[in-house]
Amino acid sequence: MPDSLAVLLDQNIPRSIKIWLESIRPAWNITHTSDIGLSGKSDEEIFRWAQSQGCIIVTFDEDFADQRSFPVGTHPGIIRLRIWPTTAEETQKALKRLLTKVPDSELRESLVIIDRVNIRMRSRTERND
């Protein structure tokens, strides 16, 4: 059974992904930035809100994958999608690959980068900075 996770979908993630994720992960608490007045806000504001709520951020924004700004182990988790086009269909495909290959528990405190072929993960336990 999947773990209960808190997830924040960044403003660049199609809103329909929230409904889709809720249908396949009903135990998750999923929020979209537009639900909470964070549309158009800076990465830092979105990150602070996610930190305060213990949310894993799902985003297309490459800035969130920058280890200098958002080091692994200092946040609840970041899932960075590197796919094109950034449609709801392609987003679903990428997330479905992730959710069938990686246990929910491994998403916590990790940086996950998903492209069309690979899923790369960096977890808190691998951090040797």
Per-domain residue ranges for the chain?
6-126
Q: Give the per-residue pLDDT at 25.
A: 96
Question: pTM (2 decimals)?
Answer: 0.93
Report H helices in the chain: 16-24, 43-53, 88-101
Q: Give the per-residue pLDDT at 124.
A: 73
- Tell me the percentage of the chain whose pLDDT exceeds 70: 94
> Is pLDDT above 50 for 128?
no
Q: Is the peptide bond before 85 cis (omega within 30 degrees of 0)?
A: yes
Q: How many CB atoms lie within 10 A of CB 63?
A: 13
> Is pLDDT above 70 for 1?
no
> Is pLDDT above 50 for 39?
yes
Average pLDDT, the chain: 93
